Amino acid sequence: MVSALEKIKLAKNASGSLAGASTNTKNDVLAQIAALLPARATEILAANALDLNRAVESGMTASLQDRLRLSHERIQAIADATSKIVSLGDPVGDVVRGMTLPNGLKLSQVRVPLGVIGVIYEARPNVTIDIAVLAIKSGNAVVLRGGSAAEHTNSVLVKLLQDALAIAGIDADAVQTVDEFGRDGAMVMMHAVGMIDVLIPRGGAGLIQQVVQEAKVPVIQTGDGVVHIFIDESANLDWAVDIVHNAKVQRPSVCNAAETLLIHKNAVARVLPAVLDKLVSDGVTIHGDQATAAIYEGTVAATEDDWIAEYHDLDLAVKVVENIDEALAHIAKYSTKHTESIITEDIQNAERFLAEVDAAAVMVNASTRFTDGGEFGFGAEVGISTQKLHARGPMGLQELTSTKWLVRGAGHIRS
């Protein structure tokens, strides 16, 4: 059997084939993927059934089973999403900056693929295609490590991706999976210095922390959102009710869902009951401080754990603050630097919040659910970076590129 390291080497050796491909050729690959997905649905669903049977036997929760499950409709949806990436602009070759130096030397900084991208992610077969498609469109080879629970499905999907590459004349080795090596495969990826140009872990905080601690290759941290909304003294009541509800209830399991509500003490009587009523009517449990419990029946007493909780569920921590300073201090202490939003009518507080909060996305009078590559118009996203190096916020095609300087002279020497 080929080892995990050998598979990563295959991806590296094939990366030049993809990096040098024209946009047309890369779009051909994507069109092939979109065509092969429904054409191979029977084979894909058979593999998926194997994974699902094993999942049921192992007692996997219903919601995780749902993420693992494919159907004809879901396969077509993945194919349609792939077709959409064809129409997105290709960042490779874009000139970022350029200048002619006083001595006549011509410089241009152009976008180039990163090379080989490693992704460690959860057992969701749609992610296998989504990520490979973004990598291919941006000219990058990719090494995938999906959750073991999706191993059979991913194996069929990776073969499909390789076939699509080959049909378009690209080295099929540019897409690899190390699923069959389990955790060892992930470990080899983390140590593949000089072969993997960037490693992107997607999943729970535990996985991400493990990768950050263990990896020797460059890592981009994603996800992980203890997201706050601060209702300022002057907040518009209707906006507060709708935004907090949308941010908490629309899709509580995702990283841009709100987890903690902060509210100015002078807005409590006017705004808080209506905000909480609407949440509670949709089944949200309120974990509040004493001031919240004093005015709102049914509040569960919040502990220190609630301020650091990423519930990913119908729970919300609520704290009454003295003023915007206390709100900013609380956010600075507990934020995971994903998304933070203020609801205010006060322009000075809005601008201060935008300037002082250190996060990938800082919002005024908007739901935190908007921090998303699709919503931002990127077409798709590999993840949402919560670190400051290279990429911050939703990562689309451009965030999967590096640059190089092209220098054109006519016998130029340095004096």
Given the rule CB under 8 A, which residues bind a second copy?
16, 19-20, 99, 101, 105, 107, 109, 112, 114-115, 193, 197-198, 212-213, 216, 218-220, 236, 238-239, 242-243, 245-247, 250, 341, 350, 354-356, 358-367, 369-371, 375-377, 387-390, 392-393, 402-414
By beta-carbon proximity to a second copy, the closer residue of 93 and 283 is: 93
Q: Which residue has the tokens 């640059």?
A: 403
Instruction: Return the closest-CA partner of residue 117 out of 371, 363, 380, 382.
Output: 382
Q: Which residue has the tokens 């002082």?
A: 356
Minimum CB separation of residue 67 from a second copy in Å reads 21
Minimum CB separation of residue 328 from a second copy in Å reads 10
DSSP per-residue string spanning 260-329 = EEEEEGGGHHHHHHHHHHHHHHTTPEEEE-HHHHHHSTTPEEP-HHHHT----SSEEEEEEESSHHHHHH
Minimum CB separation of residue 296 from a second copy in Å reads 22
By beta-carbon proximity to a second copy, the closer residue of 43 and 238 is: 238
By beta-carbon proximity to a second copy, the closer residue of 164 and 170 is: 170
Minimum CB separation of residue 390 from a second copy in Å reads 4
Minimum CB separation of residue 162 from a second copy in Å reads 23
Minimum CB separation of residue 182 from a second copy in Å reads 24
Three-state DSSP at 398 gives helix
Helix 347-356 and helix 324-334, axial crossing angle in degrees, nearest 10: 20
Q: Which two tokens stand for residue 268?
A: 């409590």
Tell me if 170 sits within 8 A of 30, measured CB to CB.
no
By beta-carbon proximity to a second copy, the closer residue of 2 and 407 is: 407
Radius of gyration of the chain (CA): 24
By beta-carbon proximity to a second copy, the closer residue of 105 and 274 is: 105
By beta-carbon proximity to a second copy, the closer residue of 111 and 145 is: 111
